[in-house]
Chains A and B, each alone.
Chain A
């Protein structure tokens, strides 16, 4: 046995003195692949000499910033209160209906904010059901006869987005409460704290990292939203970006504004990362007993039930009901063979993207776990900020590298074989899937990362010293252990892809519609009723994952698997 004969069969790749695992190289490649559109946006932002800033700063930018901040504050507080409050009630208290509420509270997840916005307007505007009814009762004639809150306003947008996004906070708050060691809560009780005192003093601070993650996800969606704010005439930063793009014909300016938006989001991401880092130290105890349950009776039970049911009612029951009403009324127009085609397209795209996003998420998160090399960690983080870029701008970012690849491929095959290669990416389904991947990687990456964080590093060490390669350890140890997180990751991406609109519009092939684009073409003409069945399908597709998701959280509490 000489040293030479036992050289490793697969030598590590080296840069100078630095030994880098092939996993790191692979992850770096994947990260660059996913980040290419982001670089394209950057490149676009820098590739202009025209200055739109002077005009913007002097005129509308202050409004954009103010309304964006107000919207974020409102949605942040709203989702925090509703998400945390309901999560605490259904997790720690027992009252009639509580079991059903645990999953029902996730239902508004299934309703895209723009649908909710439409339905809210439909019901609450001057001509809506509510006001018409009020006028009939009180005999008012004109708007000046009475006061009613204007739904198409910043306040309205805050309400709608809060209702659509609070499940993010609820989801994370609930799993945080479930994971909290019962001992801590009991200690707090023995120290003389009331249940409420324990909530404020112990449970809430312990859950803070999870809450920060939930709120930052909700706020990222808020920042990126265009449909709702446009509909409600709220002038956020994103609206400004599209205005610069379309009315000043400056995609470069739009890209520059997008970069500023990215800074906003980066701050959120940093907050989230810090929160997650803190979170790692939390589940040291594996002792899970049944959580304490405060049994509520009478008036308190009714109050708790009402508090939890209200967001479901407003965020799901009403919009779903309105949609069902329209779908029945207009079934002749909506139930066409093309409807099934669109549904198939939506399902397929979303499934592809979910699978891709999970694979990429796993590769990145696992590579970061394997080697804490700054290049890998940095790229993995950068690749996940697609969430932060307004979707249409990002879509343009997707177009550029794909067109480059197509051109290069065509050039190569023409030079080699004399025939141009077919266009594989630009304007194909592949482009749409790629776009989704870039946009939603943050979701899957985050979920996978959170899952992996729960697997103690000694598991890796044990598997490796027992002869498993990094890939082998992933397959034999990590996959089985984070199955729940992988499912969560896939479902989050799936549901978001089903709802996704702006990128699909720009990237899709000719004659190709998804449910969302189909809904949009009618909704953009305020002929929403015609698309109600498609809209309902988007909602329905969101429900099943929502239920599975809630089961996953509960299961994650039982034993290790």
Chain B
């Protein structure tokens, strides 16, 4: 009873205004022009701000707008549930695992495109055109310039060696990049050897797996560990980070080491980022156009220059920084075959309790 009257009114007015303004703001979104317009709807596993330059270039060239939903889970379920009413045209992923999953779920459209077939080498695309790799990235080791000798670390297998006890940092074993790596180890070395290896690496960890790839470089810089596994383009991104100059220091404190480079060795593990067209895509033609564009010269150049990934298209130059790390031998194991081992790899991570860290 003692509440001043004006407060009561203020509350009511405020709430009403908030509601009304909210409703007005919402109204346009209740209509779904997706099916009618010639825009492309894209599911992306990659943060929009990372791909925006590419999409802007595409729109500029073709006049087709691209609308994006970014999410790391639930996309497959959304596509599957929508069935014929599916509104998505294409999917962009950062890892072979997701492409493989979509393919196995049967929601991808086989695409026959001379442009794509010309631009993307056969081993980086699905034989039936269900998906196409757009870039490749190498999972490399970053090692401390001060604390790791020149030839101390040569292969993924080395990481399990007792001399690295308490010196390794890595993100969660369950992260797609690591699962893909472990799947590759399974492919090459078999289950028992891989299990033993994973146990060895776990025992060598300096800390419980955590953070993202960059955070591992930071940990080396801070002296928490000496060796980290990261995707190579992060090195470039740290070296050129003007917004956060401290990342340059992190990068300066480490050396990039390609692994398994011996003459008879299999080469460094590679993953791909890729794209696919959805089976029930309302704008399949435009979506194929987008894929063709992304595999074309200008887009591949952006991938190389801005993201420091390896373009799949022959003849597109690598970025200067990437070149500065020297050339290397890539593991050419069948990428789809490796992807199929993903689940076993994931279970192996559970079995050895990798994410529990070094203590247990």
Contact = CB atoms under 8 A, between A and B. Distances in A.
Q: Do chains A and B touch in the complex (CB under 8 A)?
A: yes
Interface of A: 55-56, 58-60, 63, 126-127, 141-143, 150, 152-153, 232-233, 235, 242-243, 245-249, 251, 330, 344-345, 347-352, 355, 392, 395-396, 399-400, 402-403, 406-407, 410, 422-424, 426-430, 487, 490, 505-506, 508-512, 517, 521-522, 524-526, 529-530, 544, 548, 551, 555, 558-559, 561
A351 B1 contact: no
Contacts of A126: 219, 222, 224
B70 A525 contact: no
B11 A422 contact: no
Given A347-B18, A430-B30, A558-B2, A59 B350 contact: yes
Contacts of B74: 392, 395-396, 399, 505-506
Given A249-B104, A249-B343, A423 B35 contact: yes
B49 interface: yes
Q: By CB atoms of chain A within 10 A, which of B48, B73, B219 has the most?
A: B73
A551 B7 contact: yes
Nearest to A427: B87
Nearest to B246: A127
B212 interface: yes
A345 B25 contact: yes
Contacts of B255: none
Contacts of B218: 127
20 contacts: A150-B207, A152-B210, A233-B208, A347-B25, A348-B21, A348-B25, A350-B22, A399-B74, A399-B82, A410-B85, A426-B78, A506-B78, A509-B29, A509-B32, A510-B67, A521-B48, A521-B49, A529-B244, A530-B49, A555-B3
A153 B49 CA distance: 30
B356 interface: yes
B107 interface: no
Contacts, number: 195
B30 A428 contact: yes
Given A352-B23, A509-B32, A233 B172 contact: yes
Contacts of B30: 428-430
A427 B208 CA distance: 38
B177 to A, nearest CB: 12
A422 B35 contact: yes
Which are the 10 A-B pairs with shortest beta-carbon distances?
A: A506-B74, A351-B22, A348-B22, A510-B67, A511-B67, A247-B346, A348-B26, A344-B25, A59-B350, A403-B81
A330 B21 CA distance: 28
Interface in B1-60: 1-3, 7, 11, 14-15, 18-19, 21-26, 29-32, 34-35, 41-42, 47-50
Contacts of A426: 78, 81-82, 85, 87
Given A126-B224, A521-B49, A423 B23 contact: no
Given A59-B353, A245-B73, A352-B22, A403 B85 contact: yes
Contacts of A348: 21-26
A551 B209 contact: no
B77 A522 contact: no
